[in-house]
Structure 1
């Protein structure tokens, strides 16, 4: 119900969702009465993964009705590891420092799809939002929500911890769309402003493949807010780097804000390949 009128069609329902999202921190309203199709598609509550063999074409668009998100922790961000290739394996989220027992908050309103243990992730909460985006909160010590529960933006959903494959207490945060992990820093500005980087964000493979990024530093961010920009970015001319005396793959990757793995895959070389002075590398 909105006032005394019933929600008669999908358009009204979606507009009401947008209304609640915009003011979810100030208004004591829940979205439990809404029946959006995104909460029905592949709604799996017994395991972390809801989508398998996803056939989604790049670039694809994610729409946001909010301009800001709620911080997942109550203190200033200290990012200890970023989205990218790490220790010869993909790291599909960002790690944010916290103390065991610290409150963890939902960054946007949505519905809890999974709350339980998952291999490697330990105690984990997965929330799906009305635009189809899912946020993952892992390595927790306890739960404050359960599956199929609707949550507000900024609501406490869990307690920080060190469960699963973890080397110390922290929050592992992922953003996924239909099973595809996306670099969270492409969608969200992890500064004190807590801004979402755009109303309409187009995702190319560059922002989904971990080997394109280094977990040790932030990638060079390019916001793509239209299909045309996404295609132009996809087809952009790659920078060519000419190897100089004393160059190493790690040094070249660091100066160009990319990953060693990406340089190797793009140029079909190995990490152990000896670089030659004058050799051209596509960055």
Structure 2
């Protein structure tokens, strides 16, 4: 890169950053400050600008790794990709405009201008491409981890009494989630040595043929490993839908509430809830 340009960047880093902040404000990027403190925004922005400028001053083998660490911070905060892409372009614009204004003799010859623009493109384009790639990879990884976490939370098996477990289901059940339900049921029955499993569909908005099929499969799988399955939380509208669709749930014990389901489960395991008499 042009040595005069490098000297300008080294001597005017603070001014470059301040001008960058002003231009980012005109691009609407300061709206990010609505969700975080102004100091956090300034600190993050300062790290970003100085990271990019440091690459111009001295190419380091660790630059891409350092950039990756910063991009992960941006993704973790939930900031958009436009913050990084606009920020990268704005750095180039601020540096170029400041350098031209700083020089006493304007850069008039077209050959000099062309060389300068070429050097800028050679410097910033790889950074821009790295930013987009790193952000995309980090975002995809974050989404994947969140999906895995949600899947693990979407079908929990909870032991409530000795030999009795409950699986509360909330939300829509698709094929992927049905597989997770089946896995958790079978693993949980063995792990907790459950004799009765209650599947609570109180929070399931719609029970169609596919959902009923998955539930029947889960109940059959539980039976094969030596436990009984109860379907609880069947609301009147769900019961009507099941009847209208002609779905056969004869092999599954059904109850309209979790309370009645637990009472039935206790009866199956030869227990019941009784009120204790308090001594006066």
> Which band: TM-score by shorter chain?
under 0.3
Looking at secondary structure, tell me which structure has more helix per residue: 2
Q: Which has the higher contact order (CA 8 A, sep 6+)?
A: 1
Looking at secondary structure, tell me which structure has more strand per residue: 1
TM-score by length of structure 1 reads: 0.19
